[in-house]
């Protein structure tokens, strides 16, 4: 605990005699950002972004020269997840929508890509359920390439019928008009396509869930040639894209004796693995920086603060200098013009609630182009600190700690524990709307990166196998206990609030923890692991890798039913001591709302305090502004009630 105590002493000294700024209204935190999903045009003269204000949800296009809005369209029925320019006058929106599948009656998350021509104001779905497109599929939003003339995009989709010739084909989809063409058919096992510089299918990636065979094929003169194959329940590598000169593939993998993911060169001739192109001994490659034709120009590495590496070393220097000049906030690279001449960044956390800035190739300093949350000024953003503590078995647990300076200085604070979702995910240093809301109200917020979390090496992630409801939960308790021991936190005023896996972790704290949490909030949380495993098996099939993943986490249904029940909170409602608030979207396609309704019934039957808020029209991610506000109001009322009772 030595590191922990040193950091706490430093925080106390930094926070002394710093007055608290007046906190904004709850709505400032609960509403969606006023500006998000920003993209920069190929010329660098325009930006597009999602704008939510005055009850309207729009995608706007702005001229940066005169700051005039030159295009705009209502996207309230589209729900875009991200957007980017494909031409100076056209923006692609990749969106998703929860729908009830006619066959299974399940709520599924359907994705689609739309092209917005803001000169004539048209918004059109790129790939629809046309004659060759299999009607019952959820993913119609992927784009894997662009034609050499720039007039068409390449998109994979299922083709055929459920009983005959079902395969993943590659379609050429025009940016103007509706003449969609099926270029080639793959197989039912095809998971990805790459096209060459002229738009011809070049690489086909397959994984057969029934035979557990992973393959990579190269297409030569109308014939395909196998260059790599592996027998595995879950693929150990994945195709990312091409090297900049397109003479080889870039694939993911682990170097020998390394716990961090790297990117390697793979020969297009024989599939032999070459040297690592991007690798570090302290972080995993987290995401590629690619163009529309899947050429990899650089990567982002994992960790609380993102870091970048590029093929172009001058670009490396430019990005690192900007990050060094803005120490104390997270600097995300959000977009770029061709050749990376102009760079679009988003600053988040530390001293800002969110800023978009552009760094021009011929200018020394970046220019601020938009504030994401104008109602939350810098002086009310609570500091977030990075530190680590020891779990009871000695494992080091990275964590984030957020609180107002006066709360740090005073000590004996009420605490909110916020386990992240996933669980193979992690929290990033940046502006968290929920953590910042709690800290603005005088709470300290702990975000532990418990075992099972990604982002900090395979050792920490792998340590979570089989530890749902066990060490993954005691890691949370250990962080709380050490804060209490330090005098920073009042142990009688601690609540746990989590979403998705974090919702499960909150319920597991109620069912299994020895620590007396005052209240529990589970947002879209899993309560019945056996039910979850069955749902995955019914949706994907018994041999699907998704089922293999869940069985790897907590055992197969046949062999581990008793073990699954042992760590399912719904089976242990009688052990709950703290009141529970359940929040769940009715259209959740990731964790069905039944996971919360069965938990509510079990707690009621056990005569425990429980409330359930059903969110109409909401998905898994609280992406609807109105229902997010509804959720935050319910959380505020619930947490205040039980933490004030403890005074």
The pLDDT confidence band at residue 88, using thresholds 50, 70 and 90, is very high
The pLDDT confidence band at residue 362, using thresholds 50, 70 and 90, is confident
The DSSP result for 268-293, as a single string, is TTT--EEEEEE--SS--EEEEEE-TT
pLDDT score of 1: 38
* Shared domain check, 600 and 517: yes
* Percent of the chain as helix, strand, coil, to the nearest 5: 25, 35, 40
List the single range of 43-57, 67-81, 442-456, 536-550 with lowest mean pLDDT: 536-550
pLDDT score of 366: 92
The pLDDT confidence band at residue 540, using thresholds 50, 70 and 90, is low
pLDDT score of 108: 43
Residue 121 lies in a domain: no
* Shared domain check, 558 and 427: no
Q: Which residue has the higher pLDDT, 435 or 95?
A: 435
- Structural domain that includes position 563: 532-567
The pTM of the full predicted model, rounded to 2 decimals, is 0.91
Residue 317, Cβ neighbours under 10 Å: how many? 11
Residue 154 lies in a domain: no
The CA distances from residue 552 to 62, 235, 296, 548, in Å, are 48, 14, 32, 6
* Shared domain check, 476 and 562: no
Name the E strands within 563-637: 580-585, 610-615
Residue 251 lies in a domain: no
Instruction: For residue 330, give the nearest of 300, 309, 360 by alpha carbon.
Output: 300
Residue 142 lies in a domain: no
Instruction: For residue 67, give the nearest of 368, 375, 378 by alpha carbon.
Output: 368
pLDDT score of 209: 85
pLDDT score of 557: 58
Cβ neighbours for 24, distance < 8 A, ≥ 6 positions apart: 375, 376, 380, 440
Residue 3, pLDDT > 60, answer no
pLDDT, tens only, 15-48: 444 456 688 999 999 999 999 999 999 999 999 9
pLDDT, tens only, 323-350: 999 988 999 999 999 999 999 999 999 9
* Shared domain check, 544 and 637: no
Cβ neighbours for 18, distance < 8 A, ≥ 6 positions apart: 405, 406, 409
The pLDDT confidence band at residue 12, using thresholds 50, 70 and 90, is very low
* Shared domain check, 467 and 507: yes
Q: The tokens 């700690």 sit on which residue?
A: 401
pLDDT, tens only, 283-301: 999 999 999 999 999 999 9
Residue 165, pLDDT > 90, answer no
Query: Stretch 226-245: mean pLDDT, rounded?
Result: 94
pLDDT, tens only, 257-275: 899 999 999 999 999 999 9
* C-beta separation of 306 from 319 below 8 A: no
* Shared domain check, 419 and 515: yes
- The C-alpha angle with vertex 517 and arms to 516 and 519, in degrees rounded to 5, equals 140
The count of domains in the chain is: 2
Containing 638, the helix (H) or strand (E) segment is: helix 625-645
Domain edge (last residue) among 508, 541, 567: 567
Give the β-pairing of 223-231 and 122-125: unpaired
Instruction: For residue 246, give the nearest of 276, 214, 290 by alpha carbon.
Output: 290
Q: The tokens 């907590």 sit on which residue?
A: 554
Query: Stretch 316-329: mean pLDDT, rounded?
Result: 93
User: Quick one: three-class SS letters along 63-118?
Assistant: ECCCCCEEEEEECCCCCEEEEEEEECCEEEEEEEEEEECCCCCCEEEEEEEEEEEC
Residue 531: burial class (beta carbons within 10 Å; 0-12, 13-18, 19+): middle
* C-beta separation of 31 from 38 below 8 A: no
Q: Is 247 left (phi over 0), alpha (psi -120 to 50) or beta?
A: alpha
Strands of 46-53's sheet, edge to edge?
A: 35-40, 46-53, 56-63, 69-74
Domain edge (last residue) among 547, 567, 587: 567
Residue 478 lies in a domain: yes
pLDDT score of 409: 94
pLDDT score of 256: 86
Residue 64, Cβ neighbours under 10 Å: how many? 17
Share of the chain above pLDDT 70, in %: 89
The pLDDT confidence band at residue 545, using thresholds 50, 70 and 90, is low
Domain edge (last residue) among 567, 588, 614: 567
Query: Stretch 69-89: mean pLDDT, rounded?
Result: 93
Query: Stretch 240-247: mean pLDDT, rounded?
Result: 95
Residue 446 lies in a domain: yes
Residue 527, pLDDT > 60, answer yes
Quote the CA–CA distance of 127 and 540 in Å, as a whole number: 24
pLDDT score of 109: 54
* C-beta separation of 395 from 1 below 8 A: no
pLDDT score of 97: 56
What is the token pair recorded at 346?
A: 């988003």
Residue 110, pLDDT > 90, answer no
Quote the CA–CA distance of 222 and 578 in Å, as a whole number: 65
pLDDT score of 177: 85
Residue 443 lies in a domain: yes
* Shared domain check, 601 and 456: yes
Instruction: For residue 507, give the nearest of 548, 568, 460 by alpha carbon.
Output: 568
Average pLDDT, the chain: 90
Residue 442, pLDDT > 90, answer yes
Quote the CA–CA distance of 330 and 323 in Å, as a whole number: 8
Residue 308, pLDDT > 90, answer yes
pLDDT score of 104: 41
pLDDT, tens only, 401-435: 999 999 999 999 999 999 999 999 999 999 999 99
Q: What is the largest CA-CA distance in the chain?
A: 76
pLDDT, tens only, 167-200: 899 999 999 988 899 999 999 899 999 999 888 9
Cβ neighbours for 525, distance < 8 A, ≥ 6 positions apart: 498, 499, 500, 501, 502, 503, 504, 505, 506, 507, 582, 591, 595, 596, 599
* Shared domain check, 473 and 554: no
Quote the CA–CA distance of 99 and 109 in Å, as a whole number: 6
* Shared domain check, 638 and 617: yes
Instruction: For residue 400, give the nearest of 434, 353, 363, 373 by alpha carbon.
Output: 434
Residue 496 lies in a domain: yes
Residue 101, pLDDT > 60, answer no
Residue 507, pLDDT > 80, answer yes
* Shared domain check, 463 and 515: yes
**C-alpha radius of gyration, the chain, whole number:** 25
pLDDT score of 106: 45
* Shared domain check, 544 and 459: no
pLDDT score of 528: 95
pLDDT score of 139: 76
* Shared domain check, 596 and 506: yes
pLDDT, tens only, 593-646: 999 999 999 999 999 999 999 999 899 999 888 999 999 999 999 999 999 765
Give the domain CATH number at 451. 3.40.50.1820
Residue 59, pLDDT > 70, answer yes
């Amino acid at each position: 605990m030595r590191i922990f105590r040193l950091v706490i002493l430093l925080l106390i000294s930094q926070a002394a005699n710093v007055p608290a700024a007046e906190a904004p209204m709850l709505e400032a935190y609960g509403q969606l950002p006023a500006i998000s999903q920003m993209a920069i045009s190929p010329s660098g003269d325009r930006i597009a972004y999602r704008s939510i204000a005055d009850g309207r949800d729009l995608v706007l296009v702005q001229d940066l020269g005169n700051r005039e809005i030159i295009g705009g369209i209502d996207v309230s029925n589209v729900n875009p997840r991200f957007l980017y320019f494909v031409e100076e006058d056209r923006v692609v929106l990749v969106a998703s929508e929860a729908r009830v599948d006619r066959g299974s009656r399940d709520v599924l998350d359907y994705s689609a890509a739309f092209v917005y021509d803001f000169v004539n104001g048209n918004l059109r779905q790129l790939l629809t359920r046309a004659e060759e497109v299999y009607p019952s599929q959820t993913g119609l939003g992927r784009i894997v390439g662009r034609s050499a003339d720039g007039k068409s995009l390449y998109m994979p989709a299922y083709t055929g019928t459920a009983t005959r010739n079902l395969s993943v084909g590659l379609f050429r989809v025009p940016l103007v008009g509706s003449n969609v063409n099926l270029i080639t058919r793959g197989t039912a096992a095809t998971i990805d396509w790459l096209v060459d510089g002229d738009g011809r299918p070049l690489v086909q990636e397959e994984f057969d869930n029934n035979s557990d065979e992973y393959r990579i094929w190269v297409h030569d003169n109308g014939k395909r040639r196998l260059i790599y194959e592996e027998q595995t329940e879950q693929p150990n590598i994945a195709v990312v894209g091409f090297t900049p000169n397109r003479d080889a593939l870039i694939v993911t993998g682990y170097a020998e004796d390394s716990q961090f993911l790297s990117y390697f060169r793979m020969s297009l001739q024989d599939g032999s693995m070459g040297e690592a192109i991007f690798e570090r001994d302290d972080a995993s490659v987290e995401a590629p920086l690619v163009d529309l034709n899947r050429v990899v120009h650089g990567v982002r590495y994992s960790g609380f603060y993102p870091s970048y590496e590029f093929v172009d070393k001058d670009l490396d220097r430019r990005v690192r200098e900007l990050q060094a000049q803005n120490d104390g906030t997270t600097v995300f690279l959000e977009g770029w013009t061709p050749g990376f001449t102009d760079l679009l960044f988003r600053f988040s956390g530390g001293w800002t609630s969110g800023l978009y800035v552009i760094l021009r190739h011929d200018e020394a300093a970046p220019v601020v182009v938009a504030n994401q949350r104008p109602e939350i000024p810098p002086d009310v953003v609570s500091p977030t600190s990075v530190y680590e503590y020891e779990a009871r078995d000695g494992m080091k647990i990275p964590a984030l700690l957020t609180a107002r300076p006066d709360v740090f200085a005073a000590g004996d604070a009420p605490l909110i524990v916020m386990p992240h979702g996933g669980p193979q995910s992690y929290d990033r240093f940046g502006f968290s709307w929920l953590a910042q809301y709690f800290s603005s109200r005088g709470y300290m917020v702990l975000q532990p990166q418990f075992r099972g979390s990604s982002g900090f090496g395979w050792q920490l992630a792998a340590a979570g196998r089989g530890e749902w409801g066990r060490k993954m939960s005691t890691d949370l308790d250990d962080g709380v206990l050490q804060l209490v021991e330090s005098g920073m936190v009042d142990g009688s005023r601690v609540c746990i609030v989590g979403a998705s896996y974090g919702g499960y972790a909150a319920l597991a704290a109620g069912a299994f923890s020895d620590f007396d949490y005052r209240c529990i909030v589970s947002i879209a949380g899993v309560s019945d692991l056996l039910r979850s495993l069955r749902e995955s098996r019914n949706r994907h099939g018994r041999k699907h890798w998704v089922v293999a993943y869940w069985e790897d986490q907590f055992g197969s249904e046949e062999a581990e039913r008793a073990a699954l029940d042992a760590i399912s909170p719904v089976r242990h409602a009688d052990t709950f001591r703290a009141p529970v608030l359940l929040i769940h979207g009715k259209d959740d396609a990731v964790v069905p709302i039944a996971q919360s309704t069965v938990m509510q019934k079990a707690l009621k039957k056990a005569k425990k305090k429980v409330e359930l808020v059903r969110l109409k029209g909401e998905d898994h991610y609280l992406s609807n502004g109105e229902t997010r506000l509804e959720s935050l109001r319910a959380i505020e009322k619930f947490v205040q009630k039980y933490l004030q009772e403890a005074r």
